[in-house]
């Protein structure tokens, strides 16, 4: 997994585990440490507001994975819920979707083992050099196919943004971080609310505002559809809204509306 693309999976973990501000930090993992009897840590890839991402080796299947250990403390009930979510994510087998292999817990903190993508994000890809409209559209068409595959599997992403689109060194485009994903027929929890402060995802203000009375959170405000801001039922159209905002931003260098719009 590249960059902080995996970061927002922590939002799902916060919701199901009912995390509080007093949650202890996750333990730092070291090289050669084995997690869950399966994942041997190779090195740290990056750290964000929701956890630390490591490159790890799946010793059972002899493959590299991106393992994210979240700041979210999780109890037994929360772990069971996460495993059910992982089962739903297993439906997403598509060239343009990052595969979630397993969800579990280590030392009281949730972890997610995902397909390791060596490369960057749509945002870093865009910053590498000037990109023409055709090139940008080609990338987002592939990302759109990943979203469409999720919808066909009955799942809505709920946090699509450039940072959650990975561009591998192999040229493949994959949508990542279905951390807020929920079956299309499942209504959003009544506690879901947006960060009223408008804090950037991962900022201290956003981290505080992400927590509600029930621990429920939602996606990144800049890309969210109106119904997501108000906590109403969210469907595939919310992903389409976020997709359009991200594409507009890539083409024109700014979002189609001001932050306060």
What digits encode the pLDDT tens for the residues 42-100?
999 877 656 788 999 999 999 999 998 877 666 666 666 666 666 666 667 899 998 88
What would the two tokens of residue 179 be? 């951390």
Average pLDDT, integer, range 89-112: 83
- Per-chain mean pLDDT for the chain: 75
Q: What is the pLDDT of residue 83?
A: 66
Catalytic residue among 159, 163, 210, 239: 159
Contact status, residue 12 vs residue 180, Cβ threshold 8 Å: yes
Is the pLDDT confidence value at 180 over 90? Answer: no
Q: What is the pLDDT of residue 21?
A: 37
Q: Which residues pair with 56 in a beta bridge?
A: 41, 65
Is 159 known to be catalytic?
Answer: yes
Q: What is the pLDDT of residue 62?
A: 95
Helical segments of the chain, H only: 9-17, 76-89, 122-128, 133-152, 204-209, 226-229, 236-252
d(Cα 94, Cα 124) in Å, to the nearest integer?
23
């Amino acid at each position: 997994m590249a960059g902080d693309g995996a970061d927002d999976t922590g939002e799902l973990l916060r919701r199901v585990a009912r995390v509080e501000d007093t949650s202890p930090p996750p333990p730092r993992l070291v090289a050669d440490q084995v997690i869950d009897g399966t994942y041997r840590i190779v090195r740290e890839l990056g750290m964000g507001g929701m956890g630390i991402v490591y490159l790890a080796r799946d010793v059972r299947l002899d493959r590299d994975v991106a393992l994210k250990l979240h700041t979210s403390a999780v109890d037994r009930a929360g772990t069971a819920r996460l495993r059910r979510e992982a089962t739903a994510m297993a439906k997403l087998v598509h060239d343009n979707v990052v595969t979630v292999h397993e969800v579990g817990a280590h030392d009281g903190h949730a972890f997610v083992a995902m397909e390791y993508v060596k490369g960057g994000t749509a945002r870093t890809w865009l910053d590498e050099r000037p990109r023409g409209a055709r090139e940008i559209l080609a990338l987002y068409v592939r990302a759109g196919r990943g979203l469409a595959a999720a919808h066909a599997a009955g799942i809505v992403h709920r946090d699509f943004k450039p940072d959650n689109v990975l561009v591998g060194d192999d040229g493949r485009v994959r949508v990542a971080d279905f951390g807020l994903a929920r079956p299309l027929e499942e209504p959003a929890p009544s506690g879901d609310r947006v960060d009223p402060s408008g804090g950037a995802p991962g900022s201290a203000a956003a981290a505080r505002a992400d927590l509600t009375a029930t621990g429920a959170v939602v996606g990144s405000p800049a890309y969210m559809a109106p119904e997501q801001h108000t906590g109403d039922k969210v469907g595939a159209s919310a992903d389409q809204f976020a997709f359009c905002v991200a594409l507009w931003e890539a083409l024109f260098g700014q979002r189609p509306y001001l932050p306060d719009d």
